[in-house]
A = this chain, B = another copy of it.
Amino acid sequence: MDIPTFDDVKAAHERIGDYVHRTPVLTSTFMNERIGAQLFFKCENFQKAGAFKARGASNAVFGLDEAQAAKGVATHSSGNHGLSLSYAAGRRGIPVTVVMPRTAPDAKKAAVRGYGGTVVECEPSTSSREAVFAEVVAKSGADFVHPYNDPRVIAGQGTCSRELVEQVDDLDAVIAPIGGGGMISGTCLTLSNVAPKTKIYAAEPKNADDAARSFKAGHIIADDAPNTVADGLKVPLKELTWHFVSNHVEDILTATEDEIVDAMMLTWQRMKIVMEPSSAVPLATILKNPEIFAGKRVGVIITGGNVDLNKLPWM
């Protein structure tokens, strides 16, 4: 297992600086008064391609040597990672192929193509996806950039909390959503090095609580097809992300679907920012567990803002 180090985070930050935003940190008097804590929202919804995933994808793409870069990169993702990898590859001017189920929304396919990516469709099953993806890689020699279980990706995501601790002093805690664990792993990697006293919480939908159950059990539990409005958080932990979660996370908190949608609406209404359902899970768990956060200075990572405005969860 190739575990990234904090030097990798620093190298990533240097490498991707021209291609990703140093995103702003927003605060809200309303939220602070409501919760009795000081919350600092790190707004990766304002990131390139609309999500923190641009960090890890850019680090992978811009770290390739020329020979590999010429062959391009590939991934399977119908979400932000596919979009972000297309963005990064487009910026470097190298080929990128994203394998997506033919049932994925046309808007997501169009968005990948909008950044210059090639979409290859598979059937909506794991076996088809793996077969189609293997063929893509065999033909093109493209480098596989996994959405999260990749040291380059984790080091890239670690640049987010590195900025956060530069932007905000003395954080008692940082909380981020957990799906496959890429953002949380990057957060662990950075904070364990530069702010070891800052506690790290992960937030997960109750309907997809495999990470919370893994955390309690002490080994990875993977669910089959969980169902949650937080569609970025359905994927399971893998060995690299489990390494960071099991070693550095303080706790994994969960929220119901209603709690997630309520927190999402509250954020849109009060902070006037567009964010994904997945990004509302941390606030939902904070509202649910005020005793953990009362009086504390808490960094909250808003992971992304790519939503279908015609299919909002409260419609």
Contact = CB atoms under 8 A, between A and B. Distances in A.
So how many copies of this chain end up in the complex? 2
Interface in A261-315: 265, 268-269, 271-275, 305, 309-310, 312, 314-315
Nearest to A107: B269
A58 interface: no
A50 interface: yes
B314 A310 contact: yes
Nearest to A305: B272
B275 A272 contact: yes
A268 B307 CA distance: 10
B274 A268 contact: yes
A24 B24 CA distance: 10
A274 B273 CA distance: 5
A314 B315 CA distance: 11
Nearest to A270: B50
Minimum-distance CB pairs A-B, first 10: A272-B305, A272-B274, A45-B272, A268-B274, A46-B272, A265-B309, A268-B309, A272-B273, A274-B274, A273-B273
Interface of A: 24, 26, 43, 45-46, 50, 265, 268-269, 271-275, 305, 309-310, 312, 314-315
